Amino acid sequence: MHPKIIGFNPSANTPPQDMKKFLIVGLGNIGAQYENTRHNIGFKVVEELAKQEGVSFESNKLGSTATFRFKGRTFILLKPSTFMNLSGKAVKYWMTAEKIETANILIITDDINLPFGTIRTKAKGSAGGHNGLKDIQEKLNATNYPRCRMGVGAEFSKGRQSDYVLGEWSAAEERYFPELLDKGAQLVKSFGTAGLERTMNQFNGTIDMTT
């Protein structure tokens, strides 16, 4: 007699979802010309986390991925190769391939509506004019997916938004990168182990830039 697996429907077309598996998506654009731009801070955060965990990204379908385990959870890091405006295609593919539900994904992205150094993690929300989030929203047909917004400021004149987010960081901003990226990396692990609510309470805020 086979043991009964609670919650498993043998007639279903797909296996049950793994509640301890998380898809962490850093948004950005591929290519050396975009590597150090403000729009790529999502890439930077997942790269920092991969470095801390001693894993490397490998080219895969619709993006580069790296996987590690922490406190019984599996974290799949994804850098989409679809370019920012088509991020949803990669997110949906990997959610389906790894059978990860919406509550277990975290999208890390830049946000011009927040000052540089500010982090805001939310359970849901609008795209807020961000093309990457807009495409994810359209592909998933949902707005209730967790996202971590990393402030990049809005120091640009009218009509120059694209130049600003695709511009490189200033030396003054890069000075605070180690603390900012480490905080983002720790936030991801908290999301998977402590949950979204506790993570928001602990990590939402602005890093100290008075020193």
Q: Helices 177-193 and 41-53, interaxial angle, to 10°?
A: 70
Assign residue 148 the CATH number of its domain.
3.40.50.1470
Rounded distance, CA 184 to CA 159, Å?
A: 30
Is position 74 within any domain? yes
Strand ordering across the sheet containing 21-26: 58-60, 63-70, 73-80, 21-26, 105-111, 147-151, 118-122, 205-206
- Indicate the number of domains in the chain: 1
Is position 14 within any domain? no
pLDDT of residue 79: 98
pLDDT of residue 16: 55
Range of the domain at 96: 21-206
Of 38, 69, 48, nearest in space to 164 by CA: 38
Is position 118 within any domain? yes
Is position 162 within any domain? yes
Is position 150 within any domain? yes
Is position 11 within any domain? no
Is position 12 within any domain? no
Is position 48 within any domain? yes
- The residues assigned a catalytic role are 39
Contact criterion met (CB below 8 Å) for 113 and 155: no
Token pair listed for 153: 């400021």
Contact criterion met (CB below 8 Å) for 40 and 28: yes
Mean pLDDT of each 10-residue bin along the chain, 211 residues long: 37 57 97 95 98 98 98 98 95 97 96 96 90 94 95 89 93 94 98 97 94 72
